[in-house]
Amino acid sequence: MYPAVVVRTRLAPSPTGALHLGNARTFLLTWLWARAQGAELVFRMEDLDGPRTKPGAAEEALADLRWLGLDWDGEVLWQSRRAAAHAEALAALRRKGLVYPCACTRKEILAARSAPNEGDGRARYPGTCRGRGAEVLAGGRPPAWRFRAPPGRRLRFRDGLRGPEEGVPADVEGDFVVAKKTGEAAYQLAVVVDDAFQGVDCVIRGDDLVPSTFLQLLLYEALELPVPRFVHLPLVRGPDGRRLAKRHGDTRLRRYREAGVPPERVLGLLAHWSGLGPREPVSARELLARGFAWERVPRADRTFTAADDAWLLAG
């Protein structure tokens, strides 16, 4: 897989909600790997999504991670304070003719997406505003900006856990948004620009973001930025097979913290899910002392059950 030495990786929560056990597992594995490699671990708060950002969620995330015993190097980078860098990147894409303004409303986009492309079941933006740049800009309303995803172009990368991956970025969602109508950078552009700014050499995240990786590879290329390595982790799911979320009950770290559950108990469950030992209380430092390698992490998703919840609360 990857060489043993990695320069820098990152923790990058979004304050759109409280951290839950699934998030915590990703952050624990990121922390263990970085510390085992002697890599730097930087922190970025991805607080761009203004309407969805929950008051106090950022501070709560920091408190939750410290409670678990996870630390990082340097100060927190707040993504919302990077607007000038994001705007500069968008301007570079505009100069290269790689993006175009889009005036489509959410309703129009949803209507277009209700009719998936024939044969493959995927729903993509159909390129309604392609070739209408002058008309859109003359309309007087601030547009979103979409990156022109090359039809049929196939990209490849080697994942540190999953192995070789390949896909066609245009098949993910068609021409994708890189800047919102509000003027803020969209996720795909912001994460590429900020990972490059922070010198991130390896991105570790859930495997639900594999499709986004193909979009981001286009942006790394277009902006002439160094491409990091990627490790995509299997997800934690609820009993219904869907990604762990509110619908599966209260799995927030704050809930367990306020209930008096020791952090070592939470870490013990996360470690057990990750193939790092039996389900027993353990500290982050004790896990690190045991040694860490991706080969130990199961490739299959894990399921959070009522029995797991009961075990945590029994402590």
Classify residue 3: in a domain, yes or no. no
Last-in-domain residue among 198, 213, 233: 233
Specify the CATH number for the domain of residue 129: 3.40.50.620
Classify residue 251: in a domain, yes or no. yes
102 and 212, same structural domain? Answer: yes
157 and 293, same structural domain? Answer: no
**3-state SS string for 146-178:** EECCCCCCCEEEEECCCEEEEECCHHHHECEEE
225 and 104, same structural domain? Answer: yes
Which of 15, 129, 99 minimizes the C-alpha distance to 65?
15
Last-in-domain residue among 201, 233, 265: 233
CA 239 to chain centre: 23
Last-in-domain residue among 233, 260, 283: 233
Classify residue 2: in a domain, yes or no. no
Backbone angles phi, psi at 250, to 5 degrees: -90, 100
- pLDDT of res. 141: 84
DSSP-derived secondary structure letter, 243? B
Q: Rounded to whole angstroms, how far apart are CA atoms 177 and 173?
A: 9
267 and 209, same structural domain? Answer: no
105 and 143, same structural domain? Answer: yes
Give strand pairing partners of 229. 202
143 and 210, same structural domain? Answer: yes
DSSP-derived secondary structure letter, 190? H
Domain of 32?
8-79+234-313
- As to burial, measured by CB atoms within 10 angstroms (0-12 exposed, 13-18 middle, 19+ buried), residue 249 is middle
52 and 145, same structural domain? Answer: no
- pLDDT of res. 120: 43
Report the predicted TM-score, pTM, of the whole model to 2 decimal places. Answer: 0.91
Task: Provide the residue-wise pLDDT of the chain in tens; the chain has 315 residues.
Answer: 444 555 899 999 999 889 999 999 999 999 999 999 999 999 999 999 777 788 899 999 999 999 999 999 999 999 999 999 999 999 999 999 999 999 988 787 777 665 444 434 456 898 999 989 888 888 888 999 999 999 999 999 999 999 999 999 999 999 999 999 999 999 999 999 999 999 999 999 999 999 999 999 999 999 999 999 999 999 999 988 888 887 777 899 999 999 999 999 999 999 999 999 999 999 999 999 999 999 999 999 999 999 999 999 997
For strand 76-78 and strand 40-45, is the pairing parallel, antiparallel, or unpaired? parallel
297 and 158, same structural domain? Answer: no
Q: Rounded to whole angstroms, how far apart are CA atoms 288 and 183?
A: 42
- pLDDT of res. 123: 65
Domain count, the chain: 2
